Chains A and B, each alone.
Chain A
C-alpha cells in the first residue's frame, strides 16, 4: 500500500516480575481507525552471548490490532534468560506503516521487581510482620529463587510528625518494643543488591498495637554466651513465683522460607521444664549454618508467649578460650609449647578458626614494658633475654579472618638460668682434660722407658746367653721375633684377641701353633700365648743367669 502512515516511535519494553508491557508513541493526529500490531523473534546465543541464530518474525499475541499505544505481551514470552527482538507498526485498513526500529532486550536483565506482600498482626502488644516475596504462589516466575531478596521497610508512627525510619526486615519479624494503643504504618520494598535491582514499594499498611498481655510475661534479654564452641543460652528472671522454662531451637534457613516452619521448632534436650534461667544448647549446634532459639515460661497452668528469637551464628558468636602452655627456660631464652584452645575437650578451635598466637611477655619488675610476639606455629622461642631474671608471660589465640581475639591464659612467671654457669663449666672441662692428658702422657713416658729397657736387654745384653740356650732354640730365629712383635704392639690389643682365640684353639692347639710358626710378624698374635710363655721361660732363665 501507500506509505502514508508513519511508523511508531520510541518503542520500549517494561517488565515487572513476569508482566511484559510494550509501549510506543505515534506522531499523527488522533485517528481512531488506526491500530497497531507487533512482532517478535527469539535470538539464540552461544555461551559467549554471541547471537548464532534467530527465528522468523512471529506475530506477538496480545499486541495485535490494538487501538492504544501499549499492550501486554506476557503470554508470548517463555524464556526470560534469552534475548528477543520486537518491532511495531501502525495499520489502517489495508494500509500499513513501515516497521519501527527493532528493539533488542533480554527479559531478565530488563525486569524490575514488583512489590512484596505484607501481612500485619497485632497480638498482646507485639506486632508481627510477615513478608511474602513479590511472586509468592505464582507459577510463572522471573525471580526463580526468592531467597535472593532483602526487604527494606520504611515505617512511622501515624499520629506523630516524626521522620519515617528505614530498616531491613527478615521475612518474618516480631516487633516487641512498641508503644501500646498506637497506630504504626509501613511500606516495604524488595531488592537484590548484588544485581542492582531495587523493587517498587508495597502499598502502605497500618496497624494499631494492643495493650500488653496480662498473662505470664515471656522471657526477655536472651543472650548466647559461647566459649570454645560450648553454647550457653541465658535470659532474665522476671518472675516472683516458681517458674519453669523450655527452650526451643530452629535451623536458621527455615526462617526465610515461605513454608510454615512452626512445626520445625524442636525442644532442646536437657532444656525442658528447667527452673534456672540458663541452659547449655551446644548439643543442637553444628559449626556451619545459623540457628534460632526461643524460650517460654510456665507456672502451673499459666504459660507465657514464646520469647523473641535469638539468632546464633556459631563461629561469629563463639569466644576463643586460652591455649594451654608449657614453658621452659634456658639462660637467655624461653621456650613456649602451646596446645590449641579446646583441644583438651576434644573440640580444638584450630578446626574452626585460622588461629595465630600472641605472646605477651615482660620482666617481672614494676617498670617493665610488655613485649609482643605473634606466631602461627604452636612453638614460641623468645630469645635475647637476660640470664637469672624472672620473666612473666601470657598467651592468647586469635583469628585474623574473624577479627577475633581469644582469652589470655593466666600469666606464668619463670626465671632464666644462671648465665655464669657456662664459662665456669668450660674452665672445669679444660682442667679435667689437662689432668687426663697429663696422666696419659706420664703413662706413655713410663711405658716407653719400660720398653726401651727390654729392648736394651734383648739387643744389647750386658752378657751373652749361655750356649745351651742357643742350642735349644735351633736357628735362633724364633726368639728374636716374639720380642719384636711385643715391642711394636700395645699389650691391650694382645689381651683382647687372646680371649677370642682361646676358645677356638682348644681343639686345634697343635695346628694353631704350627700356623703361627709359619706366619710372618703380622699374625704373630696367634702365637703370642705360646711365645710369651716361651719368652717367660727365657726371661726366667735370663734372670737366673743374671743372678
Chain B
C-alpha cells in the first residue's frame, strides 16, 4: 500500500513538473515578492497594533500548527497557497469597508493578491487537465484551510467588525503570510515533499 502511494506521488510529481514547471517557477518567484510586499502593506495600512486591543481575546489555531504534523505534496502546497490567497482577499474586501485604514495600501495589497490568484487559476487549469490521479488528502487539506478562515469569519461577525476585531485579523493575516512565505521558499527550493 505504501509503495503504491509512493508510486502515486511520483507519478503526480512527474506529470506536474514536466508540464507546468516554468509557470510554477514564475508563480513562486512572483509569490515571493508578493509575500514580502503584503507583509509591508499589512503593516503600512493600519500602522502599529493598537494598545487598547491587546486585552481582546482570540484563540485561532495558527496555520503553522494546523499543518505541523502533515507532510504534503507540491500540488497540495500550491492549493494551500491558493486557498489562503483567495480567503484573505475576501476577508479584506469585507474588512476594508469597516475600517479607516489607508485605502491605497489596501488596494495595492488586494491587487497583488488578485494577480497571484489569477496566475494560480491558469496554473491549475493546465494541471488538472493533465491529471489522471487524485492527489492524496487533497480535500482534507483544502477543508482545513477553509475551516481556519471560517473561524476568522465567525469571529469578525460575532464582534460586528469592531476596530479591535479587525486589528486582530490584520495581525493574524501577517502570520498567514509568514506561513505562505515558508511554503513558497520550500517549493522554490524544489523540495518535493513539504515538511513545515
Contacts and interface: CB of A to CB of B under 8 A. Distances in A.
Interface of A: 47-49, 81-82, 106, 108-109, 144-145, 147-148, 150, 193-196, 251-253, 256-257, 286-290, 313, 315, 354, 400-403
Contacts of B149: 144
Contact of A144 (B25, B87, B128): B87
B64 interface: no
Nearest to B78: A194
B191 interface: no
Contacts of B90: 144-145, 147
The A interface is mostly helix, strand or loop, or mixed, namely loop
Contacts of B147: 81-82
16 contacts: A47-B61, A48-B69, A144-B153, A147-B117, A150-B125, A194-B120, A194-B124, A194-B128, A253-B110, A288-B111, A288-B112, A288-B115, A289-B108, A289-B112, A290-B118, A354-B29
Contacts of B150: 81, 144
A145 B86 contact: yes
A287 B150 CA distance: 32
Interface stretch (B2-10, B48-56, B137-145, B178-186): B137-145
The B interface is mostly helix, strand or loop, or mixed, namely helix
B30 interface: yes
A239 B190 CA distance: 55
A252 B115 contact: yes
A148 B146 CA distance: 13
Contact of A147 (B69, B114, B125, B153): B114
B159 interface: no
A253 B118 CA distance: 10
Contact of A195 (B26, B69, B115, B142): B142
B114 A145 contact: no
A402 B111 CA distance: 20
A290 B111 CA distance: 7
Given A108-B146, A194-B120, A288-B33, 19 more contacts: A47-B144, A81-B143, A144-B146, A147-B86, A147-B90, A148-B117, A193-B121, A193-B128, A195-B142, A251-B111, A252-B111, A253-B114, A288-B112, A289-B111, A290-B118, A313-B115, A354-B29, A400-B25, A401-B25
B72 to A, nearest CB: 13
A180 to B, nearest CB: 33
